[in-house]
Amino acid sequence: MGEVMIPFLLRAIVAIFIISINAAITGTFTVFRNVSFLVAGTAHAALAGAALALILESLGFHVPVLLGGVLFAIFAAISAGYASGRGKVGRREDTNTAIAISFALSMSLAVLFISMVREYAARVWGLLIGDLFLLSYSDLAIMFITTLLVIAITALFYRAFLYLSFDAEAAIASGVKVGLYDYLLLSTIALSVVAIMGGVGAILVFAMFVAPAAIAKRFAKSISRVFLLSFLISFSSGIAGIALSFYLPFSPGAMAAVMVSSTYFVSVFVKK
C-alpha cells in the first residue's frame, strides 16, 4: 500500500466508526419501531430535496444540497408518521404503507425536479452513490456533527423512544406525547440516514442501518446488548469491506454491504 493511500484509508476507517455508531443507535430504533423501510424512503426523499435545492440555486437562491435533502427526508418521515397515526389510539395505517406512499411521492418529485435541472442531475444522483475512499474532511465533519446530534437526541429521549416502540397504547395512557416523540424519532432516523448517505452512499446506509440491528435483535438478551452487537457487526463488516477492497476490484462500501447483508441471512438460517 502506497503512503499516498494512508489518509484515504484513515478517513474510511473513521467513517466506518461513525456509521457503526449510527447503525447501533438509529439502526436499533429503526428495527425496534419496525420502520426498516423508512431508511430507503427517506434516502430517496432526500433526492427530491437535493434537486429542489439545485433548482433554487439556478434561480439565484443558495440552499446547500445536503440541507435540501435533510429537510425533504424529515418531511417524508413526519408525513409517514402522521399517516400512520402512532400518537392516536384505535384505527391506524400501517407505518410501512405510509412510508411506501411517501417514498413514491418523493421519488416522483425527485424525477420532476431533476428534469428541470438536467445539467446538475449527476450532483443529485451523487447523493445515492458515495465511496468510502473518496470522503473529504467536510464529509466526515458533517457525519460527525450529525452523529453527535443523534446521540444527544437519543440520550435525552431514550425512554420515550423505547416506550412508544414497545407499547404505544400504554405510553399514551401514561400521558406520554407519543405522536410528538414518534415524529422526533422518525426525524432523527431521517437526519442520520441522509447525513451518512451524503458521504458514503445509499447502499451502505441501507445495509448498515437495518441488517446489524436485525441480526443483533435475534441474539441479544438485553437492549444494551442489541446496541453493542449492532455496533460490532457493522464495524467489523465495514473494516472487512475495506480490507477486501485492497485485494478485490470492488468498492469497500459495496463489499461491507454484501458482508453485513449475507450475515443477516446466515443468522436467520442459524437461529431459525
Partner 1 sequence: MEAVVIKDLCCTYDGFVAIDRVNMIVNKGEFVAIMGPNGGGKTTLLRAIAGMIKPQRGYVKVKGEIGYMPQKEHVNFEIPIKVREVVEMGIMSKKKKFSLFSKLSREEKELVNNALKAVDMLKFVERNFTELSGGQQQRVLLARAIATKPDILLLDEPFNGVDLPTQEKIIKLLDNLASEGVSVITVVHNVSPLIHHVSRIALLNRELIAYGKPEEVLTPENTAKTYGIPIPTTVCKEGYIHPLFGDIHG
Which of 3, 4, 118, 175 binds partner 1 (CB under 8 A)? It is: 175
Q: How far is the CB of 182 from partner 1 (least distance, A)?
A: 13
Q: Please, which of residues 181-210 interact with partner 1 by CB under 8 A?
A: 181
Q: Which of 182, 154, 170, 166 is nearest to 85 (CA)?
A: 182
Residues in the interface with partner 1 (CB under 8 A) total 35
Stretch of residues binding partner 1 (CB under 8 A), selected from 31-39, 51-59, 75-83, 259-267: 31-39
Helix (H) or strand (E) holding 41: helix 36-58
Q: How far is the CB of 181 from partner 1 (least distance, A)?
A: 8
> Does residue 171 touch partner 1 according to CB under 8 A?
yes
Q: How far is the CB of 52 from partner 1 (least distance, A)?
A: 33
Which of 77, 197, 226, 233 binds partner 1 (CB under 8 A)? It is: 226
> Does residue 125 touch partner 1 according to CB under 8 A?
no
How far apart CA 110 and CA 106 sit, in angstroms, is: 6
Ramachandran area for residue 198 (φ above 0: left; ψ -120 to 50: alpha; else beta): alpha
Residue 86 in grid coordinates: 402512532
Which of 6, 94, 104, 169 binds partner 1 (CB under 8 A)? It is: 169
How far apart CA 206 and CA 227 sit, in angstroms, is: 17
Count Cα atoms within 13 angstroms, Cβ side, for 107.
Answer: 11
Ramachandran area for residue 201 (φ above 0: left; ψ -120 to 50: alpha; else beta): left
CB-nearer residue toward partner 1: 219 or 250: 219
How far apart CA 249 and CA 235 sit, in angstroms, is: 21
Decide: 42 and 189 in contact? Cβ < 8 Å: yes
The three-state secondary structure class of 201 is strand
Q: Strand (E) positions, 114-206?
A: none
> Does residue 17 touch partner 1 according to CB under 8 A?
no
CB-nearer residue toward partner 1: 2 or 175: 175
> Does residue 32 touch partner 1 according to CB under 8 A?
yes
Decide: 84 and 94 in contact? Cβ < 8 Å: yes
Stretch of residues binding partner 1 (CB under 8 A), selected from 72-80, 170-178, 232-240, 244-252: 170-178
> Does residue 223 touch partner 1 according to CB under 8 A?
yes
Q: Please, which of residues 84-113 interact with partner 1 by CB under 8 A?
A: 89-91
CB-nearer residue toward partner 1: 3 or 222: 222
Residue 201 φ then ψ, to 5°: 95, 160
Q: How far is the CB of 226 from partner 1 (least distance, A)?
A: 6
What residues make contact with partner 1 under the rule CB under 8 A?
Answer: 31-32, 34, 89-91, 154-160, 162-163, 165-176, 181, 217, 220-223, 225-226
